[in-house]
């Protein structure tokens, strides 16, 4: 289970090999075997022994600020896997292969968006027509992705010929392909969120994405779910031995976990489904939010409702590659499979582009 410490003044220490949590006069013993992750979102006293117990049991300890954004996480001081995977990842990032992976994830994301909007349209006869328009717009972009892919496949041959003829290298076409991929993904995202805004109940309007701070209730919940998902994907990367800072598609930047941003794309849909259903099932109340400067934020009660709903979705099993796996484990499973693919990359081969 997920241990959420959000009472100020709670004290986490160990007793008899278990976590011992004291909140005011009450105390609770929790076995480390039952805890998957720990979210610490208020001023809590911690003993180093408790943190050690968490690390030894592969429990992800995440510290959240008052907006629910993680500002720190505790992880063991080992790689936990082979650096061969990271070398493969580096080679893939300098060739068309990396972009190929990114393409696959974006395609999956757009497919998910189309499927979800179709489900929504089927249940809302009054809005079906307009949603159909949005769906076909995303489908057009989905088809354009294939064209980018073709360009991309021709990239290695261009680069090869440039290498062999000893001519000055042709400008690398890869960034262009990455740019157009980014552009298409962005456009699809805008259409998609416009569609979600269209099905949003009247008392909770939503006009486009906003972050830090969220401007409306929809964004509050969505940002919170994305935050949880983001932590899960990062954990998946770490356990699989992937380098979270080396992505293929999202731009490199200081402290930017590009690979996590790349990998999260196919899973974002779970956060979006959770958010939309929370609203459509009337589980969202105005009391769940606090006003802050320039926006709003989820308060303690709100977070409880959202975490419970999102965890329930993450623990529900899906058919994935011939097996029933919970959504939470699908992320781990995919990260491991991806690391295996990277292991197959030939490290000795000539680079395709400079």
Partner 1 sequence: MLTWVIYDIVKDKPRTQVAKTCQRAGIMRVQYSVFLGDLNANEIDELGLKIKSLIDEETDRVYIFPMCKEDFSKVRLLGEAFDKKLVTNEIRELFL
Smaller CB distance to partner 1: residue 33 or 190? 33
Tokens 């990396």 found at: 98
Give CA–CA dist 206/294, Å, rounded.
15
Q: Which residues bind partner 1 (CB under 8 A)?
A: 1-7, 10, 16-18, 21, 23, 28-34, 304, 307-308, 311-312, 315
- The DSSP symbol for 127 reads G
Whether 222 contacts 321, CB under 8 Å:
no
Which CB, 142 or 328, lies closer to partner 1?
328
The CB-of-18 to partner 1 minimum distance in angstroms stands at: 6
Instruction: Identify which of residues 240 and 309 has a Cβ nearer to partner 1 in the complex.
Output: 309
Q: Is 114 helix (H, G, I), strand (E, B) or coil?
A: helix
Least distance between partner 1 and beta carbon 63 (Å) = 15
- Give backbone dihedrals phi and psi of 292, rounded to 5 degrees, phi first: -130, 175
For residue 64, the minimal CB distance to partner 1 (Å) is: 13
C-beta of 49 vs 79, nearer to partner 1 = 49
Minimum CB–partner distance for residue 36 and partner 1 (Å)? 9
In whole angstroms, how large is the CA radius of gyration of the chain? Answer: 22
Contacts of 166 (CB under 8 A, 6+ apart): none
In DSSP terms, which residues pair with 126 in a beta bridge? none
Which CB atom, from 225 or from 259, has the smaller least distance to partner 1? 225
- The H or E element containing residue 11 is strand 11-15
| Helix, strand or coil, per DSSP, at residue 20 | strand
Report in angstroms how near the CB of residue 194 gets to partner 1 at its nearest: 33
């Amino acid at each position: 289970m997920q241990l959420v410490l959000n009472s100020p003044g709670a004290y986490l220490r160990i007793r008899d090999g278990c976590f011992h949590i004291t909140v005011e006069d009450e105390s609770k013993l929790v076995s480390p075997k039952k805890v998957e992750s720990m979210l610490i979102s208020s001023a809590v006293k911690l003993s180093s022994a408790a943190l050690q117990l968490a690390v030894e049991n592969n429990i992800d300890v995440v510290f959240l600020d008052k907006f629910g954004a993680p500002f720190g996480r505790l992880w063991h001081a080992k790689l936990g896997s082979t650096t061969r995977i990271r070398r493969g990842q580096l080679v893939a990032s300098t060739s068309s292969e990396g972009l190929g992976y990114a393409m696959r994830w974006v395609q999956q994301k757009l497919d998910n968006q189309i499927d979800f909007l179709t489900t929504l349209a089927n249940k809302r006869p009054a809005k079906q027509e307009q949603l159909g328009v949005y769906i076909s717009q995303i489908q057009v972009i989905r088809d354009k992705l294939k064209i980018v892919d073709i360009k991309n496949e021709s990239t290695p041959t261009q680069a090869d010929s440039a290498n062999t003829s000893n001519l000055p290298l042709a400008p690398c076409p890869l960034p262009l392909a990455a740019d157009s991929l980014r552009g298409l993904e962005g456009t699809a995202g805008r259409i998609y969120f416009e569609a979600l805004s269209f099905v949003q109940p009247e008392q909770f309007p939503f006009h486009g994405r906003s972050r830090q701070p969220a401007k409306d209730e929809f964004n509050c919940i969505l940002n919170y779910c994305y935050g949880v998902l983001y932590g899960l994907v990062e954990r998946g990367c770490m356990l699989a031995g992937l380098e979270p800072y080396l992505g293929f598609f999202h731009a490199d930047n200081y402290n930017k976990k590009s690979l996590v941003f790349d990998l999260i794309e196919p899973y974002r849909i779970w956060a979006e489904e959770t958010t939309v259903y929370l609203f459509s099932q009337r589980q969202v109340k105005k009391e769940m939010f606090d006003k802050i400067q320039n926006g709003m934020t989820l308060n303690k009660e709100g977070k409880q409702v959202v975490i419970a709903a999102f965890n329930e979705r993450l623990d529900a099993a899906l058919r994935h590659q011939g097996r029933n796996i919970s959504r939470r484990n699908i992320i781990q499973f995919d990260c491991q499979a991806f690391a295996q693919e990277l292991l197959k990359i030939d490290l000795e081969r000539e680079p395709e582009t400079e």
